[in-house]
Amino acid sequence: MNIIIRTDASIHIGSGHVMRCLVLADALQEKAHKVSFVCRSQQGDMIKLIQERGFDVFSLDEIIPTVQPQSSADYLGWLQCPIEKDANDFLFKIKNADIVITDHYAIGKEWQSIVREQLSCQIVAIDDLEREHDADLILDQTLGRTKQSYPNIKCVLTGSEYALLNSNFATLREQAYGRLVPQKVIKVLVSMGGIDSPNATLAVLEQLVTLNNIEVTVLLSPRAPHYVNVSEFCHKKLNIKQIDFVSDMAKIMLEHDVAIGAPGTTSWERACLGLPSIIIPLAENQLSISKALVKAQSAIIVNLNDIENCLLDCFRLLVNDWYSYYQANLKLCDGLGLYRVLLEIDNLNEDSKHRYRLQNAIEYDTELIYQWQCHPQTRKYALNSEPPSWEAHIKWMHNKIACSNQDYFYLIQDTVTNKKVGVVRLDRLNVNEYLISIFISPDFYGKSIGISAVKLLDILHPKITIRATVLEDNKASQQLFKKAKYYKISADEFIRYPVK
């Protein structure tokens, strides 16, 4: 498909929108889609970086004189021009597209309707602010966000399980399970985003240098207005290392014990790798994310004006309760959101549509799963043929959903009827090694649901080894795993190695 992404970066917008779109664009291009960007030229844009990453960029003319946003929430100021003009500028550059993806707080329903009518394309909207859209698919990766925030949209993906993270994060998450409580020297990662207009970075460093037994890594782009001041400060300190750019953020995060940074996509990156954090909101649109992270007990918030008075006390609190913050972070994001979003974008194309999807089980599903678990057909070939008691099932479900951060528990959902039709689980055995368990609702036998679900695991979990234990007389399941190209290694054992 021909996919066009409309997004911007600037000294006011920051770099987050472009960076998460690049993650998605890389993955779409790997799947043989043609991906191009449309960006407005302005101070702090990232057009050159996007081009260096291998994408064509259609540049919209810079608006002169530059519009200065009146506040961090003046999103129309971010756009630099009226919505209709921006849409028409876009259409002057783009004459055809199968899908247009928008990731811009000033671009919503009005812009999308103009473009859809002209190009007869499908629209994917990436948003964090519960705005109104004319879209076929909406992605809002805000923690705790629900589909009800976007009524009348055909497909809505909400919550941090859809966070757009580079695939390296899911890979290194396996190593993050082995993190240890920091002992003598605490390694601190400071990353306030690509721009950091208020210079929170320097304010944080001025407090951290008063502590003993810490090593600090600072990430700050040369595009940041205070880059020179921060760089000069860092070079005078032996225990502070300043880096302009990293190609593997996951690796850097895994090497540190604590992070101090702005909320945003980096919040989900830190969560995926179990990195306890102090978060400092730099804009109004980051407040809801900050509150959600604090509610989840995965981070401590320090307001910009309170850095001098509160940062060190909060740092000590975080370090003293490091392990609980580590565990809370792991529960928030598994790093597989990119794969989930790609599957749903595939579903916009009828030629590649998947009939089923895998969605995370929630405690609301407890009774439905119990009914399936107790059905004679389910128990017939279960490794334990005795049905569980209701009390035991409730406890088991709670442990699997609320307490586990290393296993995967999915409901299989029909994308046409939205009915839940089965369960597939991956229970962690070892590093990069999981045991699969699958059963289908007896009401939906004979519809190839099992093989569809197992093939979806190949897409969502390509980099792990999956083992299956199947009773020898369970001919249907034996045939299922053979058909799914699992290797039979004994009478009742199958294995799938990482997918190349």
Is 199 in the same domain as 313?
Answer: yes
Is 384 in the same domain as 325?
Answer: no
Q: What is the CATH number of the domain that holds 432?
A: 3.40.630.30
Q: Which domain holds residue 282?
A: 178-332
Is 153 in the same domain as 246?
Answer: no
Q: What is the pLDDT of residue 292?
A: 94
Across the chain, mean pLDDT equals 95
346 within some domain? no
Q: What is the pLDDT of residue 402?
A: 82
Cα–Cα distance measured from residue 112 to residue 348, given in angstroms and rounded to the nearest whole number: 17
Is 438 in the same domain as 465?
Answer: yes
150 within some domain? yes
pLDDT-above-70 percentage for the chain? 100
* The last residue of a domain, from among 162, 192, 222: 162
Residue 351 has pLDDT above 90, yes or no: no
Q: Mind telling me the catalytic residues?
A: 17
* pLDDT tens digits, one per residue of 296-313: 999 999 999 999 999 999
Q: Using a CB cutoff of 8 Å and minimum separation of 24, what contacts does 364-372 make? A: 365/397, 365/411, 365/420, 366/393, 366/394, 366/397, 368/420, 369/393, 369/397, 369/411, 369/423, 372/422, 372/423, 372/439, 372/441, 372/442
Q: What is the CATH number of the domain that holds 328?
A: 3.40.50.2000
* pLDDT tens digits, one per residue of 212-228: 999 999 999 998 999 99
* The last residue of a domain, from among 278, 302, 332: 332
Least-confidence region, from 362-366, 382-386, 455-459: 382-386
Q: What is the pLDDT of residue 214?
A: 97
Bind-site residues: 269
384 within some domain? yes
Domain count, the chain: 3
Is 156 in the same domain as 16?
Answer: yes
* pLDDT tens digits, one per residue of 222-254: 989 999 999 999 999 999 999 998 889 999 999
345 within some domain? no
442 within some domain? yes
Is 157 in the same domain as 196?
Answer: no
As a three-state string, the secondary structure of 156-209 is EEECHHHCCCCHHHHHHHHHHCCCCCCCCCEEEEEECCCCCCCCHHHHHHHHHC
Bind-site residues for substrate: 269
Residue 350 has pLDDT above 80, yes or no: no
* pLDDT tens digits, one per residue of 108-134: 999 999 999 999 999 999 999 999 999
pLDDT-above-90 percentage for the chain? 89
Q: What is the pLDDT of residue 194?
A: 83
Is 149 in the same domain as 199?
Answer: no
378 within some domain? yes
Is 414 in the same domain as 388?
Answer: yes
Q: What is the pLDDT of residue 265?
A: 87
Confidence band, pLDDT 50/70/90 cuts, at residue 263: very high
Is 360 in the same domain as 294?
Answer: no
* The last residue of a domain, from among 104, 133, 162: 162
Residue 486 has pLDDT above 80, yes or no: yes
* pLDDT tens digits, one per residue of 167-213: 999 999 999 999 999 999 999 999 998 889 999 999 999 999 999 99
342 within some domain? no
Is 144 in the same domain as 187?
Answer: no
Closest CA to 104 of 23, 16, 191, 190: 16
Q: What is the CATH number of the domain that holds 143?
A: 3.40.50.11190
pTM passes above 0.85 = yes
* pLDDT tens digits, one per residue of 31-89: 999 999 999 999 999 999 999 999 999 999 999 988 889 888 899 999 999 999 999 99
Is 268 in the same domain as 182?
Answer: yes
168 within some domain? no
Residue 403 has pLDDT above 90, yes or no: no
Is 139 in the same domain as 194?
Answer: no
